[in-house]
Amino acid sequence: ILEENDVQIVLLGTGDAEFEDGFKHFAYQYPEKMAVSIAFDVKVAQLIYAGADMFLMPSAFEPCGLSQMISMRYGTLPIVHEVGGLKDTVLPYNQYTGEGTGFGFDNFDSYYLRNTVSQAVSLFHNNKEDWKKMQTQAMLTDNSWQGSSDLYLDMFNQIS
């Protein structure tokens, strides 16, 4: 993806040492394409959310997830593995209607991740109208507790 597309990757965070070392290697190999900081800094994270076009969150397991919702609030479209809270909060792009708040893949496999990233990069470069529409839809998404609490109240009222 780095060599065949006009993309740059910024990585901030910590995790498994093997992954950290792999990202450091790619940052060294592609210094003009990739920046890696194996640390966490809330202020830098906010700047990344605000300045990026896409946010990659390919979690194997994610009961809730806040990062994809933060990225959507900034208009940074998330690319997620459709699992748990990621599936619940990110509406995958629909090429026929232009609707969506991000991109998703359901098979936890590098092939599907790569295809989904390629789809997002292609849309970014080739369909600015749909891209901007998705950014607006993402920024307007209400992930507050209000909708969920209303559903619970309705359910309780029906059974009482």
3-class DSSP state of 124: helix
Q: Beta-strand (E) ranges in the chain? A: 9-12, 34-37, 54-57, 77-81, 103-105
pLDDT > 90: what percent of the chain?
A: 84
Q: With cut-offs at 50, 70 and 90, classify the pLDDT of residue 5.
A: confident
pLDDT (0 to 100) of residue 148: 82
Mean pLDDT across the stretch 98-103?
96
Buried b (16+ CB within 10 A) or exposed e, 51-79: ebebbbbbbeebeebebbbbbbebbbbbb
Whether the per-residue pLDDT at 98 is higher than 90: the answer is yes
Residue 120, burial from CB neighbour count under 10 angstroms (0-12, 13-18, 19+): buried
62 phi and psi angles, rounded to 5 deg: -155, 95
* pTM score, whole prediction: 0.89
pLDDT > 70: what percent of the chain?
A: 99
Q: Which helix (H) or strand (E) holds 128?
A: helix 128-140
Residue 43, burial from CB neighbour count under 10 angstroms (0-12, 13-18, 19+): exposed
Whether the per-residue pLDDT at 3 is higher than 80: the answer is no
For 27-75, write each residue's pLDDT tens digit. 999 999 999 999 989 999 999 999 999 999 999 999 888 999 999 999 9
Residue 143, burial from CB neighbour count under 10 angstroms (0-12, 13-18, 19+): middle
- Greatest extent of the chain over all pairs of C-alpha atoms, in Å: 63
Q: With cut-offs at 50, 70 and 90, classify the pLDDT of residue 147.
A: confident
pLDDT (0 to 100) of residue 2: 63
Q: With cut-offs at 50, 70 and 90, classify the pLDDT of residue 145.
A: confident
Whether the CB-CB separation of 79 and 56 falls below 8 Å is answered with: yes
Whether the CB-CB separation of 67 and 40 falls below 8 Å is answered with: no
